[in-house]
Amino acid sequence: MSARHRLWNHLSYVAALLRVNLAGGLARPLFAATSAAMMFANNLILFLLWVIYFADFSSLRGWGLQDLALLLGIVAWAFGLTVFLAGGLRDLATTIADGGLDVHLGRPRHPLPGLLLSRSIPSGLGDMASAFLFWLWLGGAGIGDLPLLLAVSTAAAIVLGATLVITQCLPFWLPGSAALSEELFNMLLLIVFYPQNAYGFLVRLVLFTVFPAAYIGLLPVEAVRDHSLIQALGVLAAAVAYGALAVWVFERGLRRYASGNRILELR
């Protein structure tokens, strides 16, 4: 089989998974619409905090309310896209701990796409919709900025997804760590939703390496603010690098996996 044919075959498989996944996620349209609307409202309420903050203070190390709106929009898009398309990554740690990987390992395909695309969380649509409101109305961006915003935000989604895969793989090495994986997810979410320009050099170093929140929040916002191609390319490069790292970590963890993983969890 030629490389081109193999790639086409793989893309068809992912497209089929996506189709089934999204059909499942939208199977209850009323619930999906309510979830999305609530998430939309949820993001707006969160923005209120910053409206109150900037009613009292003129700036936060050079950032104003519009920059915060850009940040919230980018993070909302990244998070919404990730959970809407690949909601299964939220369950990865539990699946590993419960021995649920067996089902996926029996298939003649790489198990990761099947795992990630096993669930769609419809509230993600609300996140994605709110992004446009944050960017175009509250963030002061123009229609011309949209291609750059969508590019860096989608790259940020890949970094977010990859980081979640890595943290959700913890149960491969550390039995009983599914709860810890969830806390690490909450930590990442917490960091990316707050402006990272306030931190000093050392913290920023961590955010650009070990815990790559800077590629999800800080760098995409700076790329849009400065219309900087270099910064945008930095986010895209991070998406490729962290995506590859996530696959590598998952495959390394898979070597340690035994279907009786549950026994290790209960020990």
Binds other proteins by CB under 8 A, chosen from 46, 205, 240, 244 = 46
Q: At residue 60, what are phi and psi to the nearest 5 degrees?
A: -125, 95
Please report, for residues 9, 12, 97, 235, the alpha-carbon distance to residue 4 in angstroms, rounded to integers and kept in the order given: 9, 12, 36, 28
Using CB under 8 A as the binding rule, whether residue 54 contacts other proteins is answered as no
Residue 132 CB, shortest distance to other proteins, in Å, is: 19
Residue 185 CB, shortest distance to other proteins, in Å, is: 10
Please report, for residues 28, 71, 79, 92, the alpha-carbon distance to residue 122 in angstroms, rounded to integers and kept in the order given: 10, 22, 12, 18
Residue 213 CB, shortest distance to other proteins, in Å, is: 10
Q: Do the beta carbons of residue 96 and residue 1 sit within 8 Å?
A: no
Residues 181-200 that bind other proteins (CB under 8 A): 182-184, 186-187, 190-191, 194-195, 198-200
Choices 65-73, 134-142, 174-182, 239-247 (CB under 8 A): range interacting with other proteins: 174-182
Q: At residue 59, what are phi and psi to the nearest 5 degrees?
A: -160, 165
Binds other proteins by CB under 8 A, chosen from 1, 3, 45, 210 = 45
Query: Closest CB to other proteins among 149 and 191?
Result: 191
Using CB under 8 A as the binding rule, whether residue 34 contacts other proteins is answered as yes
Q: How far apart are CA 173 and CA 45, in angstroms?
A: 39
Residues 117-156 that bind other proteins (CB under 8 A): 123
DSSP string, 120-143: --THHHHHHHHHHIIIIIIS---G
Using CB under 8 A as the binding rule, whether residue 29 contacts other proteins is answered as no
Number of residues interacting with other proteins: please give it, by CB under 8 A: 40
Using CB under 8 A as the binding rule, whether residue 202 contacts other proteins is answered as no
Cβ within 8 Å of residue 81, ≥6 positions away:
124, 127, 128, 153, 154, 157
Angle formed at CA 173 by CA 172 and CA 178, multiple of 5 degrees: 65
Residue 15 CB, shortest distance to other proteins, in Å, is: 28
Query: Closest CB to other proteins among 34 and 228?
Result: 34
Residue 35 CB, shortest distance to other proteins, in Å, is: 5
For 63, the 3-state DSSP assignment is: strand
Using CB under 8 A as the binding rule, whether residue 53 contacts other proteins is answered as yes
Using CB under 8 A as the binding rule, whether residue 173 contacts other proteins is answered as no
DSSP string, 71-91: HHHHHHHHHHHHHHHHGGGGG
Q: Which residues bind other proteins (CB under 8 A)?
A: 31, 34-35, 37-39, 41-42, 45-46, 48-49, 52-53, 55-61, 123, 174, 176-177, 179-180, 182-184, 186-187, 190-191, 194-195, 198-200, 203
